[in-house]
Structure 1
Amino acid sequence: MKEIVLTLMFAFGVALAHAQTTDSLSFDENDKYIYYQVASEPSVNTDTLYNRALHFLKTAYPSDQLKLNKENKSKLSLTGTGGFMVRKKALVSLQPNAKIEFDLTIEVKGDKYRYWLTNFVVVPYQRDRYANYVPVSGKKIPLEHGYRKLGQKDTDDYIDKLLMNCRWVGAKLKSYMAKTSGLSPAETKLKKIITKEW
């Protein structure tokens, strides 16, 4: 019985380690943290994938969380910027601790697309004299300098939350790319209703 339990624990540990290495933050050629993924949508053409990615950047999140920055139809590339709050637990409630800002790039080629999140910047928050949490003015720390400027505990926490957020953004993007009805309202025809006639 012990052998079976140990074998299962070992197999689970190997599977978990493999999942973490295939889906984690890495460093790019500029020594910046990057979350990079490639996916495919068989039997979907390039223009459709591009339009779905554009629809995702315009409608998936509110503009303060993710917004479209640049659209390059000739290179089939889209760029957006976004950010999310990191909250820490205080006695009874969660309080804003920092905002992590990032850049998102989506490129389409054939029936494949790739996306990556990079240029992560931590904006610390503090309580002002009116007991509101506001960003510390003039303090934006690239995540690569986090261990030196923020400390190991905070930086490890930010990286964990960042990886979780990257996975959420990726999962939402994949759902938009797989939708057949992911067209913007301008592209769909609305039926006119005439109220004067019965």
Structure 2
Amino acid sequence: MIGTRLRSALLALSVAAGLAGTATSAEATPAGALSCRGVGIDPATQLHYRTETFIKAPAAAVWELHTDVARWPAWQPAVTSAQRLDAGPLRPGSRFRWTTPAPPTPTTPATTLVITSTVGQLQPGRCVRWTGPAIGDGLRIDRGVHVWTFTPVRGGVLVRTEESWTGEQIEADPATAIRYLAPGLDAWLAALKTTAEAR
């Protein structure tokens, strides 16, 4: 039952790969994991994925696009709303809330996942890390940890991202969960690349 519900709901929340929420104290970064100011994904989780893409655009422009959270719905089709919960540039302690739809499954109605994100670490133009839950009817990811790095390279910027998920519901079927986490991050990077390169 959890497997069927999970497969259906996680497909719709592939963009929720950008989860966020409450920042915690520094955690050890797994070997080879991405980090922002020395802090990476949740080292204890079995559910994590990492990907990257080259974007042929100025690093500053890509950073600005990515960290302008309130404008995410304009370029990310699966983000239906996004609201900053504080003013000013994104910084450690910044909070934002965003939503993404999840379709009905055989055991749950269609729902909207509400994701409340808190930035834990940030180095302007270089990296950002946020954490938090995604909550909807019939589906809950207790904690997502998402790290993004932006490295200027010849002709553009190399954007890397890594995310981990924890929670009883998704940990009950890790093989299914990871199959949806990966395409979610890939889709987010593809949208970022397409939008940044079109500017």
Q: Normalized against structure 1, the TM-score is what?
A: 0.46
Q: Kindly indicate whether structure 1 or structure 2 has the higher relative contact order, using CA contacts under 8 Å at least 6 residues apart.
A: 2
Counting helix residues as a fraction of each chain, which structure ranks higher?
1
Larger radius of gyration: 1
How high is the TM-score relative to the length of structure 2? 0.46
